[in-house]
């Protein structure tokens, strides 16, 4: 049986939960009957709701799953959380074989689900398309193994790396098809992070459930700027300045390094606030400062050339003498959103 093909189906199912399951992982599941036909599928739709295995199994009647095979991209849980253990239900339904993409990195599970299944006499096959399964749950893995917020940067530039002309003109560098993809990317993240400079220059709306603004001197217009009119907002500022929370805005005093808010402090605070992933959309200075913390970069490139060394660059934050000092990433994927392309990079 082609288990890799079946795990790919699980990955696609799991992806449907993007933006809704945090802080839980993305999980998809399919059930095969004893002769190998797919008879049910499911995925984790929202934090607090049924896990993928339970979603798929409870769609079946009576003993339809007995002696069948369950395929899932992540090890079934073995503990009581907001829902009962999936491993127990798998055993109860008489599943004969379980095929797993990767082991859970949550220390509460971490092999215990597999152990429980094996002790019940179930045949367990592990590590099918493990790298793809790990990529799917890169946010969850960082949260669990490093106890930090997964940090990504999104930027859109011309071919020569410019995000605006010297006068600040930037709408629009990329096409509608690229901008539609940006909306999908934003939905995957718990929060969007930007700077006061971007708010003042562009007055962006940024429709998102949580937004982080770095505003060292509290100079943005909290009552009238578009970005403050929706969502839950955290504003990080110089700890020596006083500001009182109001409405949907929480003011967060932060230490200052030189003339900048300490970004590492901000990211650590986000994890404390339960924000498991953040997408940075800002200018060259903040983007550059964020590079050393970035787990991922979404770099849209339009087939345009500005050719002006005074135009604004996407990463403009330091001077180096040796190319060995450059930040190094790996290209994970390249996709076309005609006439533009998206290069996705990871560490």
Q: In whole angstroms, what is the distance from residue 7 CA to residue 31 CA? A: 11
Nearest to 313 by CA among 123, 160, 95: 160
Q: pLDDT truncated to tens, each residue of the chain (347 aa)? A: 899 999 999 999 999 999 999 999 999 999 999 999 999 999 999 999 999 999 999 999 989 999 999 999 999 998 777 778 999 999 999 999 999 999 999 988 888 999 999 999 999 999 999 999 999 999 999 999 999 999 999 999 999 999 998 988 888 899 999 999 999 999 999 999 999 999 998 888 888 999 999 999 999 999 899 999 999 999 999 999 999 898 899 999 999 998 899 999 999 999 999 999 999 999 999 999 999 999 999 999 999 999 998 989 999 888 889 999 989 999 999 999 999 999 999 98
Identify the domain boundary among 89, 110, 138: 138
Identify whether residues 101 and 188 lie together within a single domain.
no
Largest CA distance in the chain: 70
User: Are 129 and 160 part of one and the same domain?
Assistant: no
Count other C-beta atoms under 10 Å from residue 247's C-beta: 10
Is the domain of 162 the same as that of 117? Answer: no
d(CA 56, CA 74) in angstroms, rounded, equals 14
Kindly state whether residues 78 and 132 are assigned to the same domain.
yes
Domain encompassing residue 156 = 145-346
Domain of 220: which CATH number? 3.40.430.10
Catalytic residue check, 53: yes
Residues 27 and 120 in one domain: yes
The partner residues of 194 in beta bridges, in order of sequence, read 213
How confident is the model at residue 109, as a pLDDT?
Answer: 87
Which pTM value belongs to this model? 0.93
The answer to whether residues 299 and 337 belong to one domain is yes
Q: Do 87 and 23 have their domain in common? A: yes
94-132: b or e for each residue (b if 16 or more CB lie within 10 Å)?
A: ebebbbbbbbbbbeebeebbbebbeeeebebeeebbeee
Q: Sign of torsion, CA 289 290 296 301?
A: negative
In SS3 terms, the chain reads as: CCHHHHHHHHHHHHHCCCCCCCCCCCCEEEEECCCCCEEEEEECCCCCCCCHHHHHHCCCCCCCCCCCEEEEEECCCCCCCCCCCHHHHHHHCCCCEEEEEECCCCCCCCCHHHHHHHHCCCEEECCCCHHHHHHHCHHHHHHHHHCCCEEEEEEEECCCCEEECCCCCCCCCCCHHHHHHHHHHHHCCCEEEEEHHHHHHHCCCCCCCEEEEECCCCCCCCCCCHHHHCCEEEEEEECCCCCCCECCEEEEEECEECCEECHHHHHHHHHHCCCCEEEECCCHHHHHHHHHHCCEEEEEECCCCCCCCCCEECCCCCCCCCHHHCCCCEEEEEEEECCEEEEEEEC
Length of the chain (residues)? 347
Q: What are phi and psi of 267, to 5 degrees?
A: -65, -40
Domain endpoint, select from 138, 168, 188: 138
Edge-first strand listing for the sheet containing 249-254: 249-254, 232-238, 210-214, 191-195, 277-280, 150-157, 296-301, 340-346, 330-337
Q: Please indicate, yes or no, whether residues 108 and 193 belong to a single structural domain of this protein.
A: no
Q: 125 and 202 in one domain?
A: no
Residue ending a domain, choose from 120, 138, 156 = 138
Question: Which is catalytic among the residues 53, 75, 181, 281?
Answer: 53
Based on the fold, state whether residues 63 and 208 are members of the same structural domain: no
The total of structural domains in the chain comes to 2
Any idea what the CATH number is for the domain that residue 46 is in? Answer: 3.40.140.10
59 and 133 inside one domain: yes
Residues 178 and 300 occupy one common structural domain: yes
Residue 67 phi/psi, 5° resolution? 65, 15
Which pair of tokens denotes residue 328?
A: 């190094």
Q: Are 61 and 31 in contact (CB under 8 A)?
A: no
In this structure, what token pair is assigned to residue 253? Answer: 């005093």
């Amino acid at each position: 049986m082609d288990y890799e093909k079946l795990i790919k189906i699980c990955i696609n199912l799991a992806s449907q939960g993007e933006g809704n399951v945090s802080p839980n992982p993305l999980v998809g599941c399919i059930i095969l009957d004893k002769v190998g036909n797919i008879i049910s599928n499911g995925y984790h739709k929202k934090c607090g709701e049924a896990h993928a295995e339970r979603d798929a199994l409870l769609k079946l009647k009576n003993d339809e799953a007995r002696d069948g095979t369950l395929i899932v991209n992540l090890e079934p849980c073995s503990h009581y959380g907001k829902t009962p253990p999936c491993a127990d239900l798998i055993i109860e339904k008489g599943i004969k074989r379980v095929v797993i993409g990767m082991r859970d990195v949550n220390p509460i599970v971490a092999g215990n689900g597999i152990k429980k299944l094996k002790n019940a006499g179930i045949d367990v096959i592990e590590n099918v398309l493990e790298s793809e399964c790990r990529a799917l749950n890169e946010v969850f893995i960082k949260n669990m193994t490093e106890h930090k917020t997964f940090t990504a940067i999104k930027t859109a530039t011309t071919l020569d790396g410019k995000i605006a002309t010297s006068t600040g003109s930037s709408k629009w560098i990329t096409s509608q098809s690229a901008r539609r993809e940006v909306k999908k990317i934003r939905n995957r993240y718990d929060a969007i992070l930007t700077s006061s400079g971007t708010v003042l220059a562009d007055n962006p709306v940024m429709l998102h459930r949580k937004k982080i603004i770095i505003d060292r001197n509290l100079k943005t217009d909290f009552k009238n700027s578009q970005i403050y009119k929706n969502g839950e907002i955290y504003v990080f500022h110089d700890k020596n300045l006083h500001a009182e929370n109001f409405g949907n805005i929480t003011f967060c005093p932060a230490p200052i390094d030189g003339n900048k808010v300490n970004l590492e402090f901000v990211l650590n605070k986000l994890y404390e606030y339960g924000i498991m992933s953040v997408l940075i959309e800002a200018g060259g200075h903040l983007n550059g400062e964020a590079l050393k913390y970035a787990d991922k970069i979404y770099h849209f490139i339009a087939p345009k050339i500005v050719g002006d060394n005074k135009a604004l660059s996407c990463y403009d934050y330091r001077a180096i003498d040796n190319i060995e000092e450059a930040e190094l990433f790996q290209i994970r994927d390249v996709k076309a959103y005609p006439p533009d392309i998206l290069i996705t990079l990871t560490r």
